[in-house]
Structure formats: C-alpha cells, structure tokens
Structure 1
Amino acid sequence: MQMVASVIALGALQIGCGKKEGADAGGANRNAANAAEWKVGAYLSLSGDDTAFGTDSKEGIELAVDEINKGGGPKGKPLKVLYEDDKSKPEEATNKVLQLIDRDGVIAVIGEVASARSRAGGIVANKKKVPMITPSSTHPDVTKDRPFVFRACFTDDVQGRMGARFVVTDLGKKKIALLFASDDLYSSGLATEFREEAKKLGAEIVIEKKFLKKETNFTTYINEIKAASPEIIYAPIYYNAMAPIARQAKAAGVPGSMFMGGDGWDALELVRDAGEEMEGAYFTSHFAPDVPWQNSQDFVAKYKARYGGRNPSAIAAMAYDATRLLGDAIGRAKTDTPEGVRDAIAETKGFQGATGTINIDAERNADKPIVIVQIKDKQFHFHSAVGGQVPPK
C-alpha cells in the first residue's frame, strides 16, 4: 500500500549521517558472521495517522520471529528485530533507516506499509547496500532501479488490471464509475490501471469523480455518480476515506454492494466504522482470514492463539511473510553479509507464505496470487483468487 506524501528531498540522506559513503554498511555489518544474533531493523508507523498499519505489521513480525527462533534461528542464531517509529512520515522513515544501518548495524531492514515511506527508506537502504523488504508497499517505484530493495506483495499495476478483469469478466459489469483521490499516488495510480484495462475489456467508464484527501463531504460526488447510473463504482482509496463515503452513499440510496476497491480498504477499522454500509462490497487484497490454503490457516491459528482470538489483517499476514522470507534468505545466504542476504532474497522461489506462494521476480517483486475479498456480516471473507501460483488447500 502507499500513502500520499509530499515529495521527499533527497538531500535528507546527508542529514544526520556524518560518515562518508564508504562507512555505510561495511563497518556496521562486517562482523555479522561472528555476532551471537542476527540484527534486523524494522521501521513502522507506530504513531501518527497510520498507526493501525504499523501495529498490525509489528504483530506479524513478532509472531514470525518467535517461530523462526523456536526453530533455532538462521544458521543456528536467533533473529533480533530493532524497531523504529517513523511516525507515519516519509522524512522520519529516511532518518530511521539511517539510524538502523549506521548506528545499529543491522544486516537487513523490514518496512514499510506505505509506499511513500518505503520509497524514502528504500533510497537509503539501496545507497547503503543493505537489503530491505517491504511487506506491503505496492507502488512499482519502490523497487524500481534499486537492487537492494524487495517486496513481499504484488504491485499496483497488477492489482489494478486484475481488479478490472474481476469486475468486467467475473461480475459482468460494463458501466463503471470511478471515485478516487487525485492528490494520492496510490489512489490515482490504481484508477489509471483499472480504467485502461476495463476499456480494453469492453467496459465503459460512465463517470469519473476526483476528490482531495482532505475532503470529508462526498455527497455531491455520490449524487453525480448515482445520476450516471453505473453498475459498479471502483473506489481505490484508503479505509479512512471509504468509511464516510459508504455512510454518505447509503444515505443517498447507493448500497455498499455497488462498490469495488483495492487493498487500501484492508483494515478492520473499515468494517468497524462502516461494516453495515459496506455489505456486499468487493476489494482486491493479499489475504483474508478464511483463505482456504493450509499455510494461511496455520498462520491464522497461531495469530489468534497469540493475540487473544483476533483475526489477523492482511497487513499482519504480509509482515509475517516478509519476516519469514528474510529469515529463510539469511539461512540460505552464501556469505553472512548484506550482499549475501540480498542475493539469497533475489533467488527466492516457491516460498510458502501465509499470503500464498511467493516467487521473487527479476524486478525484485513478488509474483503471487491476488485475493478477492467480499465484505459480509461486517467481516472480510475470501471470495476467490486470481493470478500468481495458488498454494494447495
């Protein structure tokens, strides 16, 4: 996922780092082979606007670390994760990744959920030649031209196209409305991919309405969309905007079943705040608690046992997968260095994760299934899966 942010000044890479470039990963990580544990950094939104994402990620990471360490750890040494709070801000992500690498000497980094923050942190990790895995940042630019940056999720271009195919081919909807945030890279990017694919499949975009992230009153947009008589409304936005839209749409006579979204909906806050209004809606995501794959069900059982019976979110599941994938790569690395771990991550094929079978492709992205989720009875339910390699049940 990605959240909108202002353009990041790349000069921030120089701030707070008095070392020369040659002192980047080398001095901090040279002794990894002799250390008693593998130090891994994680930068997350543990405060600020996106705290829910950071908290869920931390829970998934901690569950994976416990599992890895109970098995003896990679090459017989435990993983130790050092957490940093980026406060839901890209500029803080830059600073925190610098600290984790230069001050703490981590061999690899996990983070972030939001693409704007993963992009900022990834610039640092790549510059320092320390591998980074983002569990759930979907914008293509996060890994582009950065050989040390990977992701454990699909990308927005794939998600947008698959969403369009599901709407047009599976649901048979040919008259579509678009509702998205024009000042949000995630929202506008998904809308673009969806629009292009839907048109190729013979659908018609009968109306497009754009809004700004700061807006809270959507009644005019909803009424204009209703007047255009679409069969479905594609709204690739975040849960914190979708909840008021759903409530205002219901008041205007537009049911939740008219909506289709993307993985930005995947937060339990959506069904908590607007579960009744969203009844019957679909969205593309990475996971659902009732996905019928054995690895997924095993993860759900472990998560519920640890966290008081709560179902995990997709964010928690992806963080769990990213951490386990990293642990597996450290164990397979030919050298106990950041470069060795980077090469092992790049070679990952057939990794059996909670969110599906993961193959890392040549662009360092995860080739994996996209899950179609439906909201029913104020809960997220698995509907189907498209693309990727679907694991056995």
Structure 2
Amino acid sequence: MKRLSVAGLAALAIIVLAGLVAGCGGTANNKGIKIGMVYELTGNTASYGTSAANGAKLAFKEINAAGGVLGKQLDIITADNKGEPSESTNAMAKVISQDKVVAVTGFTVSSCGIAASAVAEANKIPFVAAATVNPKVTVDERTGKVKDYTFRACFIDSFQGKVGADFALKGLKARKAAVMVDNSSDYSKGLAEIFRGAFAAGGGQIVAQEAYLQKDQDYKPILTKLKAQNPDMIYIPGYYEDVGKIIKQARELGIAAPILGADAWDSPKLVELSGPQAANNTYFTNFYSTEDKNPASNKFVEAYKKEYGQIPDSMAAMGYDAANLLADAIKRANSTDANIIREALAATKNFKSVSGEMNLNATHDAVRGVVILELKDGKQVYKQTIKP
C-alpha cells in the first residue's frame, strides 16, 4: 500500500469519504471540547508516532490542569493510522464522522499526512500536523493551492534539504556526494531532489544516485555501486528502520565516508540496527534537541521526564508543539467553529514552541530552525541550530 500514489489515495479519500462525513462538524458540549489525535501507534513507524503522541498527551494534560480551553476540558479522541495512507484516511474519517471532533492533530509520516489532509479538507475540519515535512501536506499538488484547513507545526523539506546540503558542503567539506533514495516514499524523494539541487548550486557534484524500497534487506549491491564512485559523503533521507541497516552494511563494505540524513532518522532503533560504532561519522537534520536551550524547552524536558521517566526526542517535542498550537488557536478564536479556528491558525505569530518563537507562513507551514545532530558512540550530539 505504501507504493500506491499518494495523490491517488487522496483523491480516493475525497470521493469515498466525503459523502460519508461531509458536513459533520465537530462538537463542544457541556462536558468538553472533542479533539482528534491520530498517530502512527503501530507499524514500521510506530517509534515516531508513539513519541509524538506522548508529547501531545502531555500538552493536553497540562492544558486541562490549567483550566482547559474556553472554560471546558479537552476531550482527546485517539486513533491509530498504522503508518499507512489508507489507514490514515480511515482514522480521520472515524474521528470526524463518528466522534464529532472539533479539530485534529497528529501524524509524523508525510504520505499519511497527505492522505489525511484530503479528509480534513473535504469536511472543513482544522488539522494541525505534527511532523510531516513534505510540501504536499499543506499545498495541493494538482492545483498548487494552499489547503484551507491543513496546517503544520514543523518546517518543510525545502528548508531542511537546503540546510543539509549546506552542512555537507561547509561542515563536512564534501564536494562529491552520492544519494540513496527510498522510491516508495514521497518524503525521501522530495528531500533527495532538494538536496541534489542545493548541493549542486553550492558547487558540489552528485556523482551517483541509487534507489531502494522500504523493507528491503540487502543494500550491498547498491552500496557497492556508490562506493565505486568514491563520494566524499552519502545522503540518505530515509526512515530509521531502513537507514540503520544501510549504515551497518555500508561500514561492512568498508565505506568510511560521512553519511548524512534527515529527521526520519530520529529513533533509538537506528543505532540498535546499525550498531554504535558503525553509526559514528553520521549526521542528520532534525526539528529539536534538548541541548538547544531556552526556557520553553527546559520546562518541556522536565515535565516530560516527570511524566514518562525519560528524555523527550524530537517527535515528542513536535507532538507537544502541535497540540499546544491547536489549543492556542482555539483560545484565540474564542470559538469552536471550524472556520474561525482555521482563521486563528492562519494568523499564528510568535507562538512559543519548544525551540523558540515560531510563526506560520502563507502556506501554513512553521517557520522554525533546523537542528544538526551527530551520532557519536550511539548518542546524539548537538552541533548547531540553523535559523530560517
């Protein structure tokens, strides 16, 4: 299912689901305001979704403890999209049509967020995605029009990919780069395209590009081809489960060059799969680091540690930000009317995210910094934050 066209899935979602749920507005009754929370709680990307959901639950708990929103408690309706676009449309349809939510937050996988946004748009329900970076989440790829009801708390690939290329050129001093792209992922293909363009524009040369598919197991034939081109570094904008295996096999082949990736690397499972030593000399761009200090981040880290007994990762931070962003918009709207909430979201300025002040731009995307992290002996080491 991951290999189906996301555009096709989105169109199918609109056709099949719009008739089922169109016109089903959310509710704010005397008991509370219903908010949908849809994440990847099972499947290959459950590590992301579980962390983000934990961050969101913490945010909603804090909001309710402080008196809720508009004098009411937030009633959170949770659904699992299983990391699949088709399941994402089903989950969105459920929380909108059956549970009558006022708005929805969630999603860490771009293909899932793209599919889900079609349902939100068809039913005119505000949707704040947490960590879906593909531009097609908020902009209709067929028309180029900004989606009315879809927003996100994260930066987009066009910024992250350029930051990655700049770091490769200046931080890693690379002049020849090879690229491995997951051809079954809109996320990976989009980032790879942006990285290639920015790297070449900065004076670098792309000496090779090879494709793989999610859940492949043997990457050595591809890596052997890349090794033959003697690149200064390899760019792999893939998901942690695949990347961990790729890094391990690359080092086994004697590839010592730096390997660079993006936010989808952010899972402890990557190092479990690659091994700590193999993961040395690897880097990735990300949303957040606990080492990037500010008062909002410090408060979040302490609260998360108290709630879950562990340090939050970037997905937890994004889930937390997305939940707070949605609640903040409802407060500013002073209403649970979908259109008024949508207008409040579009007008978001100087929102206090865990990584500092954040605005939403004309395409409903967050304007926020990109963090660069290094993996060293199995641990994430903060290097710098690149501001927009």
Q: Which TM bucket (shorter chain)? A: over 0.9
Q: Which amino acid aligns with 1:385?
A: T
Q: CA deviation at 1:20?
A: 7.3
Paired residue secondary structure (1:153): coil
1:43 correspondence with 2:54: no
Structure 2: 5+ residue runs without aligned partners?
Answer: 140-145
1:6 correspondence with 2:4: yes
Match of 1:137 in 2: 132
Q: Aligned in 2, Cα 1:223/1:100: closer, same or farther, shift over 3 Å? A: same
Match of 1:220 in 2: 221
Q: Alignment length, in residue pairs?
A: 378
Match of 2:106 in 1: 111
Q: Which amino acid aligns with 2:48?
A: F
Q: CA deviation at 1:324?
A: 0.8
Match of 2:316 in 1: 316
1:77 paired residue among 72, 86, 101: 72
Q: CA deviation at 1:244?
A: 1.0
Q: CA deviation at 1:90?
A: 1.4
1:56 paired residue among 51, 55, 75: 51
Match of 1:391 in 2: none
Matches of 2:184 and 2:233, distance apart in 1: 23
Paired residue secondary structure (2:292): coil
**Counterpart mapping for 1:237-256 below 5 A:** 237-255=238-256
Matches of 2:10 and 2:152, distance apart in 1: 23
Matches of 1:290 and 1:5, distance apart in 2: 37
Match of 1:370 in 2: 370
Matches of 1:73 and 1:146, distance apart in 2: 28
Q: Which amino acid aligns with 2:162?
A: R
Note if contact 2:80-2:91 (Cα within 8 Å) is conserved in structure 1: yes
Match of 1:279 in 2: 280
Q: Aligned in 2, Cα 1:278/1:306: closer, same or farther, shift over 3 Å? A: same
Matches of 1:220 and 1:279, distance apart in 2: 22
Matches of 1:49 and 1:361, distance apart in 2: 31
State the Cα deviation string for residues 58-78 of structure 1 (Å, max 9, x = none): 111111011111211122222
Q: CA deviation at 1:14?
A: 4.9
Paired residue secondary structure (1:81): strand
Paired residue secondary structure (2:357): strand
Q: CA deviation at 1:252?
A: 1.4
Q: CA deviation at 1:19?
A: 5.0
Match of 1:350 in 2: 350
Paired residue secondary structure (1:272): helix
Matches of 2:147 and 2:18, distance apart in 1: 21
State the Cα deviation string for residues 293-334 of structure 1 (Å, max 9, x = none): 3322221121111112x2212111100000011111111104
Note if contact 1:291-1:297 (Cα within 8 Å) is conserved in structure 2: no
Identity %: 33
Match of 1:267 in 2: 267
Matches of 2:14 and 2:135, distance apart in 1: 22
TM-score by length of 1: 0.91
Paired residue secondary structure (1:215): coil
Q: Which amino acid aligns with 1:175?
A: K
Note if contact 1:163-1:284 (Cα within 8 Å) is conserved in structure 2: yes
Paired residue secondary structure (1:283): strand
Instruction: Give the alignment's Cα RMSD to 1 decimal.
Output: 1.9
Q: Aligned in 2, Cα 1:369/1:17: closer, same or farther, shift over 3 Å? A: closer
Structure 1: 5+ residue runs without aligned partners?
Answer: 389-393
Matches of 2:17 and 2:157, distance apart in 1: 33
Match of 2:97 in 1: 102
Q: Aligned in 2, Cα 1:271/1:339: closer, same or farther, shift over 3 Å? A: same
1:333 correspondence with 2:333: yes
Q: CA deviation at 1:213?
A: 2.6
Match of 1:91 in 2: 86
Matches of 2:240 and 2:79, distance apart in 1: 24
Note if contact 2:106-2:322 (Cα within 8 Å) is conserved in structure 1: no
Paired residue secondary structure (2:70): helix
Matches of 2:170 and 2:96, distance apart in 1: 47
Matches of 2:212 and 2:259, distance apart in 1: 17
State the Cα deviation string for residues 186-221 of structure 1 (Å, max 9, x = none): 112111100111111101112222223342111122
Match of 1:178 in 2: 179
Q: Aligned in 2, Cα 1:204/1:18: closer, same or farther, shift over 3 Å? A: closer
Note if contact 1:289-1:380 (Cα within 8 Å) is conserved in structure 2: no
Q: Which amino acid aligns with 1:195?
A: R
TM-score by length of 2: 0.92
Note if contact 2:39-2:80 (Cα within 8 Å) is conserved in structure 1: yes
Matches of 2:228 and 2:16, distance apart in 1: 52
Matches of 1:54 and 1:354, distance apart in 2: 18
Matches of 2:21 and 2:176, distance apart in 1: 57
Matches of 2:283 and 2:358, distance apart in 1: 24
Paired residue secondary structure (1:76): coil
State the Cα deviation string for residues 38-92 of structure 1 (Å, max 9, x = none): 1100111222222212211211111101111121112222212100112222112
Match of 1:148 in 2: 149
Q: CA deviation at 1:290?
A: 2.0
Q: Does 59-68 or 355-364 show the bigger shift?
A: 355-364
Q: CA deviation at 1:15?
A: 4.1
State the Cα deviation string for residues 354-374 of structure 1 (Å, max 9, x = none): 133220011100000011111
Q: Which amino acid aligns with 2:329?
A: A
Note if contact 2:279-2:377 (Cα within 8 Å) is conserved in structure 1: no
State the Cα deviation string for residues 160-205 of structure 1 (Å, max 9, x = none): 1111011112332111111222332211211110011111110111
Q: CA deviation at 1:149?
A: 0.1
Q: Aligned in 2, Cα 1:211/1:246: closer, same or farther, shift over 3 Å? A: same
Q: CA deviation at 1:18?
A: 5.9
Q: Which amino acid aligns with 1:328?
A: D
